[in-house]
Amino acid sequence: MGGSSFEKGVNNIISIDVEDWFQVENFAGAIAGDRWESYPLRVERSVETVLEILERTGSRATFFVLGWLAERTPGMVKEIRAAGHEVASHGWSHAPVWRLGREAFRGEVARSRALLEDLTGERVRGYRAPTFSVTRKTLWALDVLAEEGYVYDSSIFPVWHDVYGMPEAPLQIHRREQGLWEIPLSVLEVGKMRLPVAGGGYFRLYPLALTRMAIERMNRAGRPAVIYLHPWEFDPGQPKPRGVGWAKLWRHRVGLAGTAGRLEAMLRRYRFGTAWEAVAEVREGRPGGEGR
């Protein structure tokens, strides 16, 4: 691996939510799904950049792939798996769970899993919801995932947020009542507060020293850090869509030029692997969460 483990041999998680720049929820008000076909795909080159970083650092990652993209870029999905990384599902249309409802959600996760398994020739175990949209109101989605054969989910952010989050949720990897394993997104505890860290805009915006402190504190507690990024975060040359407010555009673009360097620095400093490897550690009673 690119770096040594920090405390207790904790295997941190590097995950990539594979979607293109025009598919983000931040732009949904300006770019409707029926217009996606009019935009040239930029995701494949960005995924290549990520794969190169992972190869240089000897790291393995989990790629949560959007079904809509997998259908149009099957070679990219096969390349990800051929490079030794885990392929998991990010749904099909990038619609948040609360916008889909139970049966539409079931159709999306079943369709996505079937396609990804056909492309990789392997079982797809994991799922991450767009916009971390498994919340108190959509916990039924976990029942559907278990019924559809998924083994783990990584959609719950144990923080308060105006769009997503479950601030009372456990911080460690744990098994839920329907048998599904849950991998929560990373937070930094500051007193009674939980601050989201180690992913997306938080990863790009926070000082690198703060991210390191958060990872090390989680590892000392025996918990893996979960870094999540998107291919478009490695693409500072992407277009600027019209009709998006300055705040949303700033949040989307801040720090894009530094994402690759930050990621490589983290991968060289700490031990990172796939989401499934982290679940396996817990199942075997090793660091990372609560096995049962």
Give pLDDT tens digits along the chain (292 positions): 444 444 445 789 999 999 999 999 989 889 999 999 999 999 999 999 999 999 999 999 999 999 999 999 999 999 999 999 999 999 999 999 999 999 999 999 999 999 999 999 999 999 999 999 999 999 999 999 999 999 999 999 998 777 787 899 999 999 999 999 999 999 999 888 898 998 999 999 999 999 999 999 999 998 999 999 999 999 999 999 998 999 999 999 999 999 999 999 999 999 999 999 999 988 887 655 554 4
Question: Residue 50 maps to which CATH number?
Answer: 3.20.20.370
Residue 141 falls inside a structural domain: yes
What is the model's pTM? 0.93
Rounded CA Rg of the chain:
18
Residue 7 falls inside a structural domain: no
The structure tokens 């935009």 sit at 39
Residue 218 falls inside a structural domain: yes
Residue 237 falls inside a structural domain: yes
Angle at 224 between CA 219 and CA 225, to 5 degrees: 95
Residue 290 falls inside a structural domain: no
Cβ atoms within 10 Å of 102's Cβ, excluding its own: 13
- CA–centroid distance for 36 within its chain: 22
Residue 221 falls inside a structural domain: yes
Residue 291 falls inside a structural domain: no
Residue 4 falls inside a structural domain: no
Residues 197/250, Cβ–Cβ less than 8 Å: no
Number of domains in the chain: 1
Q: Which domain holds residue 72?
A: 12-283
